[in-house]
Amino acid sequence: MPAGVQTSLEALLSLKAEARGFSFLPRQPVTSLLAGRHSSRLRGRGLDFLEMRHYQQGDDIRTIDWRATARLRSPHVRVYTEERERPVLLVVDQRRTMFFGSGRAMKSVVAAELSALAAWRTLSSGDRVGGIIFNDHEIIDLPPHRSQTRVLRLLHEVVRHNRMLVEQIDASPSPATESILNMSLEAALRRAKHDHLVVLVSDLDGGDENTQRLATQIAAHNDMLVLAVYDPLGASLQGHPGMIARDRGVNFAIPSGRSFADSFEKAFAAVLDRWTEIFRALRVPVLPISAATSPTHQLRDLFGAHLARRTTIS
């Protein structure tokens, strides 16, 4: 099976070498992508203020709080402690809606690659990583752990779900579990009580008001990031006479003509804009990831290799 249609454990293992030049948890300047354009709450790991105390011999003079010193009329320093770790929970979509691609790879393969890149990057940063992997009928919940064994287990489950999509090509589709996207977010909410980074890798198909509610609850006590995987053909479709599309076991004739193409493109943009606005209100970045180009390059472009180089990677 071509690599773009189906992934393998070997392919996801090989991405370990490419998981560099970006970070989900950098110490970011105010003008960075996640701090500004998307109003993100992603803080990264840095220093938390602990207390103010009298200056003692040997203290770094750079920690002196001059305002407090002037007010209290004796030298005072600000004491910091390292911020708590931030486990990463990957919520990876492998539903049949993800089994679509017109160029480099299926959306499902790109989602698998993104999860591998994120897992390897998190592990190399010294943080725990876990996952919620789901398809139309099953949810796998893997608690975050700081070990290569956990990453391998996570990637194994992603590959297993990815291969199931290929095995079901000729099978009659059975009814999908109702709102399994929301059920997966509920699992993420139970797992990520607080101070996690929850990364949703999905095409957001089937999202509704309950999806918004669950995202609100997750973002209330955690950082959240959405990698919205799309295919260019799914964003802009030009119909031709006799062209047939199949969705959830139903065939549709695709109209030809410019009006259909314009309406299709506007409908896709409207859905993306709606979810972008919903997540922006929650201060959750939504980053579109195209299935037509390398996800590694897109992550480096979006998060900035230059930013990762000039900041301390946690």
Q: Is 30 exposed, middle or buried (0-12, 13-18, 19+ CB in 10 A)?
A: exposed
Average pLDDT value for residue range 57-65: 81
Pairing of strands 197-202, 88-93: parallel
pLDDT for position 253: 63
Give the confidence band of 1 by pLDDT, cuts at 50, 70, 90. Answer: low
pLDDT for position 277: 86
Average pLDDT value for residue range 41-54: 65
pLDDT for position 103: 84
What pLDDT digit, counting tens, does each position of 71-119 carry?
999 999 887 755 557 899 999 999 999 998 888 999 999 999 999 999 9
Q: Is the pLDDT confidence value at 60 over 90?
A: no
Give the confidence band of 172 by pLDDT, cuts at 50, 70, 90. Answer: low
pLDDT for position 38: 32
Contact 222, 194 (CB under 8 A): yes
Give the confidence band of 125 by pLDDT, cuts at 50, 70, 90. Answer: confident
Residue for token digits 């750079």? 62
What pLDDT digit, counting tens, does each position of 263-273 carry?
777 877 888 88
Contact 230, 289 (CB under 8 A): yes
The residues facing 166 across adjacent strands are none
Average pLDDT over the chain, rounded to an integer = 82
Average pLDDT value for residue range 222-236: 86
**pTM for this entry:** 0.76
| Sign of the four-CA dihedral 303, 181, 132, 203 | negative
Q: Which helix (H) or strand (E) holds 91?
A: strand 88-93
190 against 262, higher pLDDT? 190
> CA 178, 176, 243: angle at the middle one, nearest 5?
125
162 against 248, higher pLDDT? 162
What pLDDT digit, counting tens, does each position of 142-155 carry?
999 999 999 999 99
pLDDT for position 260: 64
Question: In angstroms, rounded to a whole number, what is the distance separating the alpha carbons of residues 75 and 130?
Answer: 45
Average pLDDT value for residue range 115-128: 93
